[in-house]
């Protein structure tokens, strides 16, 4: 992957002339969703943390990875990832299957213990928070405790409505447990993929009616216990049911939920619109997609930009996350016996047992998007999406999203960012990557830029 620093080749806006092969119009008068950031899920960090920190081998590599992933400093050679999802209890990428209270029938939750999670989980989160003060932590279970389900196990089965209040208290205690480790959550979910009951790893069927009632029970508990600023995010499943399950959630318990989260495994990104159009005042979160080892780097980049880091954003998403932040070269560690990722899932960064590591295409596309929305000033606001239109004779060969980032000092110029994918990579079925000459229209002025095949992020400043 080749990078070019454009600082010495500024984008100059002048009086407009003829339009290019593609004409990109940025309309900052049409303000859209404020962005929360990009990131992944911290499912495990066992191999990375154990090999590079616990035994003092390659500890410099551990910190190099974290800084490259999460440092938000303007101008830093880092992605500045700022949204991190964390399972509450086991997932398909855990060493064992567990919840925070596996004592059957413990409705008083006397045996609840957040420290059933591996201790390195808490230390890694704190390390990341120390690098990125803007980090937003989104936590949720892959399953309630097995005794709250008809299966009696956290693997598969359906939630039993009689435990609605108990489960709401379980989620509250999860936030309190994190707080005891000096970790604060930005958002909490009720259930990861509530329409999935795969019996080989932690899953649970929870109907929209059940989730709405759990959310309605949880919201006052959070408000009464010091967590009024923690958002409840619903659904957390695929695009294909975007017009049904999350819509019912908002109809039944909209005051409890901040919005709904989506995954990429079924359906199409445009289906986010069914939810967004029904509840325009609710957040649209994109929180999970994974690639697989052994697939084509460039084809993956095109798909991710088209469907997530430009696509999902242009369909209302305030965030864009991949699945695993770190795994080894075989897609491990995984829960023993899980049928998940039969072809090994690819993480954002591959970390091997000897401490060596490499960044995958997932990292590079997220970094391009993240750089466009990070605060320009310390403790400043994140970028806000603005309207962009792509026209011209070759308009189908460029995809774009655009953002405006405010400043802490009102007299400072605002930053404008444009993220563009040029996927003009073949002619007549043959590989032939071809740059595209484009014009960029902004406030009655025009700039010219030739976009190479790949992903380009441009910045400029204006009052």
Strands (DSSP E) contained in 22-128 are: 22-34, 37-41, 83-87
Handedness of CA 93, 197, 85, 264 (dihedral sign): positive
Q: Please list the pLDDT of the chain residue by residue as tens digits (463 residues).
A: 334 445 556 788 999 999 999 999 999 999 999 999 999 999 865 544 444 444 345 688 889 999 999 999 998 999 999 999 999 999 999 989 999 999 999 999 999 999 999 988 999 999 999 999 999 999 999 999 999 999 999 999 999 999 999 999 999 999 999 999 999 999 999 999 999 999 999 999 999 999 999 999 999 999 999 999 999 999 999 999 999 999 999 999 999 999 999 999 999 999 999 999 999 999 999 999 999 999 999 999 999 999 999 999 999 999 999 999 999 999 998 999 999 999 999 999 998 878 789 999 999 999 999 999 999 999 999 999 999 999 999 999 999 999 999 999 999 999 999 999 999 999 888 999 999 999 999 999 999 999 999 999 999 999 9
How far is residue 251's CA from residue 247's CA, in Å, rounded to a whole number?
Answer: 6
170 and 109 Cβ atoms separated by less than 8 Å: yes
- Residue 100 CB contacts under 8 Å (≥ 6 apart), including other chains: 88, 89, 112, 113, 114, 116, 117, 145, 170, 173, 174, 177
Query: Given this model, what pLDDT does residue 355 score?
Result: 79
- Give the integer Cα–Cα distance in Å for 428 and 224: 64
Q: Tell me which residue of 359, 351, 353, 343 sits closest to 327, measured CA to CA.
A: 351
* Calpha distance 375→234 (Å, rounded): 27
Q: What is the pLDDT of residue 50?
A: 44
Q: What is the pLDDT of residue 11?
A: 83
Residues 122, 392: Cα–Cα separation, whole Å: 51
Of the candidates 82, 117, 135, the residue with the CA atom closest to the CA atom of residue 366: 82
Predicted structure pTM score:
0.95
Alpha-carbon torsion 37, 40, 46, 49, what sign? negative
pLDDT at 116: 96
Predicted confidence at residue 429, as pLDDT, reads 86
Which two tokens mark 174?
Answer: 């999860």
Measured N-to-C along each axis, helices 59-70 and 119-131 cross at an angle, to the nearest 10 degrees, of 60
Predicted local confidence at residue 56, as pLDDT: 40
Instruction: Find the distance separating the first CA and the last CA of the chain, reported in whole Å.
Output: 34
pLDDT at 230: 98
């Amino acid at each position: 992957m080749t990078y070019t620093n454009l600082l010495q080749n500024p984008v100059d806006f002048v009086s407009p002339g003829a339009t290019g092969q593609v004409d990109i119009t940025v309309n900052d008068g049409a303000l859209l969703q404020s962005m929360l950031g990009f990131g992944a899920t911290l499912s495990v960090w066992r191999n990375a943390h154990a090999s590079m920190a616990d035994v003092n081998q390659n500890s410099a590599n551990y910190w190099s990875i974290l800084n490259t992933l999460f440092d938000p400093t303007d101008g830093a050679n880092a992605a500045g990832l700022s949204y991190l999802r964390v399972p509450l209890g086991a997932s398909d990428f855990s060493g064992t299957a567990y919840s925070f209270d596996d004592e059957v029938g413990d409705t008083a939750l006397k045996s609840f213990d957040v420290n059933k999670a591996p201790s390195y989980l808490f230390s890694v989160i704190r390390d990341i928070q120390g690098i990125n003060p803007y980090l937003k932590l989104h936590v949720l279970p892959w399953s309630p405790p097995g005794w709250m389900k008809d299966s009696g196990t956290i693997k598969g089965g359906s939630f039993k409505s009689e435990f609605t209040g108990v489960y709401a208290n379980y989620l509250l205690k999860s936030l309190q447990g994190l707080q005891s480790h000096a970790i604060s959550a930005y958002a909490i979910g009720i259930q990861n993929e509530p329409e999935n009951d795969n019996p080989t790893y932690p899953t649970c069927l929870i109907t929209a009616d059940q989730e709405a009632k759990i959310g309605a029970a949880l919201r006052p508990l959070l408000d009464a216990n010091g967590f009024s600023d923690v958002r409840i995010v619903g659904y957390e499943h695929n695009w294909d049911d975007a017009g049904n399950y999350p819509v019912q959630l908002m109809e039944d318990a909209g005051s409890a939920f901040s919005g709904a989260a989506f995954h990429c495994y079924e359906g199409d990104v445009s289906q986010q619109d069914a939810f967004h159009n029904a509840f325009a005042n609710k957040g649209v979160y994109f929180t999970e997609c994974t690639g697989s080892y052994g697939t084509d780097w460039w084809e993956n980049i095109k798909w991710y930009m088209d469907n997530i880091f430009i696509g999902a954003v242009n369909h209302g998403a305030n965030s864009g996350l991949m699945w695993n932040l770190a795994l080894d070269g075989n897609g491990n560690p995984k829960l023993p016996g899980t049928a998940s990722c039969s072809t090994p899932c690819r993480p954002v960064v591959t970390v091997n047992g000897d401490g060596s590591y490499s960044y995958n295409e997932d990292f590079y596309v997220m970094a391009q998007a993240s750089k466009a929305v990070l605060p320009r000033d310390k403790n400043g606001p994140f970028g806000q999406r603005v309207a962009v239109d792509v026209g011209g004779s070759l308009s189908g060969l460029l995809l774009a999203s655009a953002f405006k980032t405010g400043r802490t000092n009102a007299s400072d110029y605002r930053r404008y960012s444009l993220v563009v994918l040029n996927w003009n990579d073949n002619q007549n079925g043959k590989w032939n990557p071809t740059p595209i000459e484009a014009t960029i229209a902004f406030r009655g002025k025009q700039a010219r830029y030739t976009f190479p095949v790949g992903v380009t992020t441009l910045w400029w400043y204006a009052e």
